[in-house]
Chain A
Amino acid sequence: MRRREALGRIGRAALAAGVLGVVPARGHARPDVCDALGAAPIRWLVGWSPGGGYDTYSRLLEPVLERELEREVVVENAPGAAGLIAARRISGARPDGHTLGILNGTGLLITPLSNPSFSFDIASDFTILARIARQDQVLFLGRGTGIATIEELVERTRGGQLVLGGTGFGTVNLLLAATLEDLFGMRVEQVLGFAGSSEVIHAVRQGWVDGGVISEEGIFRDATVVPLLRFSPQAAGDSELSAIPRLEGSAGLIATRPELFVDPRRARVDAEALASVTSVGRLLAGPPGLPSDLEACLIGAVARVLGDPGFVTAAGRLGRGLQPTSPEAVARDLASAIAARPRFEAAIRRALTRQRG
């Protein structure tokens, strides 16, 4: 086999490189690169454990950003409270450019609906450097349900029950699952508390739940599950996602199959609001109050990193979609998302009340 033959060629050299590579390279400040940025390393905060999507994006960014800024970038995982702990650290850091990180913008936007005590105003509590990707949220079912299309789902469950699994903390998924009830008229029961999306998929395969809402592209290469509906306005560069029916837009289900919806007019407004909320996506950010020259320098460096061919290729190999977006465009999306947010208060409250019994 090719992979076995290749081993002999690479051998010890790769191992030595691996071992040596564990030691981070020291950065050397160059005067013409971001003058306003000190020579100290940059701490890059990730609010989740190693191995997940946010961590993977960050570790792919790290070497390219180091090269762009000529400063050492240290990725630090500060997991907890669905990313809120890292978000608070980024927001509260000194505005010197040495504390940056990645945020779940959509999650931060939705959190106040289920947990009013902990909320951020994304626009004023952070300096947004870019959006790296939207979150492609997809409703999927297990193949064992015998349902292969959204039409079949509506036909078989309208007036009946659909059981969806979730982690309980992913309020975006909670929101999307809860909204299905208003859109299609089935009763959606959520089983929350699974440790992660892998556990939800496992439960789907076993028939303990019918399906779930997930944002990981890899799932759709799995023959045991069927993707049915995409909530995101556009897929993040993954052709497999592009093939999944979407809710809104001229080619969306509401436009092409309005009879599937309980109230197509209301569904259209809901879908636009959902698209708006999910479009905030994964943000690269720093603390508020960065000096304007430093902010401009960091935004420029991040933009170059997101367009770097090596970075784009590596992200593609990992199935991590990219939709680089400027801070100005993110600000516009944020404004419309914040305006849309109250529309979902009732759905979230209903889902949590049912869950809490």
Chain B
Amino acid sequence: MPGLDPGSVVSAALDGLALVLAWPNILYPIAGTLLAMCVAVLPGISGATLMAIVIPLTFHWDTLQILLLFGALVGGATFMGSTTAILFNIPGTGPNAATLLDGYPMARQGRARTALACSALSSALGSTVGVFLLILLIPAVVVLGPRMGPPEYLMLSLWGLVCIVTVIRASVVKGLVMAGFGLLISLVGLDPMTAETRYTLGTIYLQDGVGLIPVFVGVFAIAEIIDLLATGRRTVSGETDVAALGGTTAEGVRAVFRHFGVFLRSSLIGTGIGVVPGVGGTVAGFVAYGEAARVAGKDGRFGEGDIRGVIAPEAANDAKDGGSLLPALAFGVPASAGTALLLVALQIHGVTPGGDLMTNDLDLVFVLIWSLFISNWLSSLLGLSLVGPLARLSVVRVSRLVPPILALSVIGAFAYRGRVTDVWLAFGFGAAGYAARRYGWPRIPFIIAIVLGPLFEVNLGLSLRLHELGRIDLWTRPSILLVGVLIALSVAVPRLPRRRGERS
């Protein structure tokens, strides 16, 4: 890949922005965003599904039109997924899952408005940081990004797993046991290296492993439904009058600036993970969440409605988006189903990802990035304007709320892979999630371990195999040393003894 000089990158970025803002081009990201937002309300149905439907309609389109529309489809779905996570404990998509860890507890405390507003602004600002960092760093990223390989992914997942320890508040032993269960569940299916079956009970269904969305839906949404019914709680927030709700939109907006360090760090993590080829938004959200919890230490109440637990994953998710387009367009390595479909759509029109695109048509790359950026802002602004009406859902009586939440949960679990068995799996994990909640076994380490387990396992295997064959030297890679230092610092910061001191 030839080098790029910063001047030409800035010039291409401005050309791309001018193209997006030109009439009627701007209509495409707007329409795409609205379309994606409508679809994203249904959990499990992602922007990728929408793209797959739209692709056959774009055969006669111009390349620019495709970039404008698909940029919006990649970005428009994220915020709406966060709203269901905050209000109903249902993640719209995998990348929204980390948001519910503290977003929903905030809704239960009557602070849905704060959580929704904070989520919207964190998303929009995170996207802004991601895009501007990308403009600044694109020449370096184009050179360094592709050098990130299995060892770096391994260290990244290890960092995330180390962060698990920091989100455990109740009992370190219980937390580690739950993390262990999460890792065990992540092992179900075919061994990614050898194709041997593990814990599949002789079924084809489990060959593919345990689906993330059914687990999320079960452990959080269905467990919550059971809890709402078992405890006889009147509404999610406990209030029946919207006037009695605490929290405001302004409070959510201010929180982002009050915790600007968390926001900035999470945006940087998101951007960094975005430019690493092949790592998705779910990982970005959880790694940023874990790091925010680690830094907060004893001052944090993560998992119990800490607003930083909303800021971190939301900022990271959207900061990642711009960066994640880069490996797809520059090296042809998609980070998600959405970017994979984008590549398909571009190839229909003879646009091949690679060096030529990055050097000769960089303005088109920025058309995509700006379209996604506009989509992120538009969905966030629409979200902010809807905070009031959406927050009213937290004062709707449980008896009226449970049927639609249950329906959304079932749809979400089913739509993920189109399998009825996933719905039963969600109910199974729902019962387990309720029991864990009831008896004080933390669910967050379990979830983080399930998300990061496969990334850890496959990259451990690949790294060791490549090292064994002499293709990668694990001991001399600077990026490994860098992440290793980060992990060492994470472990070295003496927080656990202080927690034990607190409990005693």
Contacts and interface: CB of A to CB of B under 8 A. Distances in A.
- Note whether A and B form a binding pair: yes
A59 B65 CA distance: 21
Chain A interface SS verdict (over half): helix
A192 interface: yes
Interface in A178-221: 189, 191-195, 198-199, 201-203, 205-209, 218, 221
B14 to A, nearest CB: 15
B63 A3 contact: yes
Contact of A6 (B51, B62, B197): B62
Contact of B471 (A21, A163, A319): A163
B39 to A, nearest CB: 9
A195 B204 contact: no
B146 A205 contact: yes
A19 B331 contact: no
Interface stretch (B116-124, B256-264, B341-349, B391-399): B341-349
A117 interface: yes
Contacts of B343: 51
B207 A168 contact: no
Nearest to A20: B57
B52 A50 contact: yes
B341 to A, nearest CB: 4
B149 A115 contact: no
B340 interface: yes
A237 to B, nearest CB: 17
Contact of A198 (B35, B332, B466): B332
A146 interface: no
Interface residues of B, number: 69
A21 B58 CA distance: 10
Interface stretch (A9-17, A243-251, A322-330): A9-17
B147 interface: yes
B418 interface: yes
B362 interface: no
B202 A117 contact: yes
A356 interface: yes
Given A22-B50, A193-B458, A209-B471, A118 B207 contact: yes
Interface in A326-357: 352, 355-356
A168 B27 contact: no
Interface string B44-57: 00001111111111
Contact of B278 (A84, A192, A195): A195
Interface string B450-464: 000000001001100
Given A11-B24, A14-B65, A51-B341, A81 B207 contact: yes
B28 interface: yes
B472 interface: yes
Interface in B3-46: 19, 24-25, 27-28, 31, 35
A84 B204 CA distance: 7
A189 B417 CA distance: 34
B194 interface: yes
B52 A218 contact: no
Contacts of A161: 469
B337 A191 contact: no
Given A12-B27, A15-B28, A88-B204, A81 B337 contact: no
B208 A208 contact: no
Given A56-B344, A205-B146, A192 B352 contact: no
Contact of B207 (A22, A80, A209, A314): A80
A19 to B, nearest CB: 6
A318 to B, nearest CB: 6
A11 B54 CA distance: 16
Contacts of A199: 277-278, 333
B35 A80 contact: no
A88 B207 CA distance: 13
Interface string B168-209: 000000000000000000000011111111000010110110
A318 B132 CA distance: 34
Max count, chain B CB within 10 A of own CB: residue among A3, A11, A209: A3
A12 B202 contact: no
A50 B344 CA distance: 10
Contact of B204 (A17, A118, A208): A118
Contacts of B25: 7
Max count, chain A CB within 10 A of own CB: residue among B55, B62, B190, B466: B62
A59 B52 contact: yes
Nearest to B19: A4
B135 interface: no
A55 B52 contact: yes
A158 to B, nearest CB: 18
8 contacts: A19-B35, A51-B337, A85-B419, A192-B192, A202-B146, A208-B471, A209-B466, A352-B195
Given A3-B63, A191-B471, A209-B466, 20 more contacts: A11-B24, A15-B69, A18-B54, A49-B340, A50-B52, A51-B337, A55-B52, A77-B418, A81-B207, A81-B208, A85-B208, A115-B197, A117-B197, A118-B204, A192-B195, A193-B192, A198-B340, A201-B332, A352-B195, A356-B194
Interface of A: 3-4, 6-8, 10-12, 14-15, 17-19, 21-22, 49-52, 55-56, 59-60, 62-63, 76-81, 84-85, 88, 114-115, 117-118, 161, 163, 168-169, 171, 189, 191-195, 198-199, 201-203, 205-209, 218, 221-222, 224, 314, 317-319, 352, 355-356
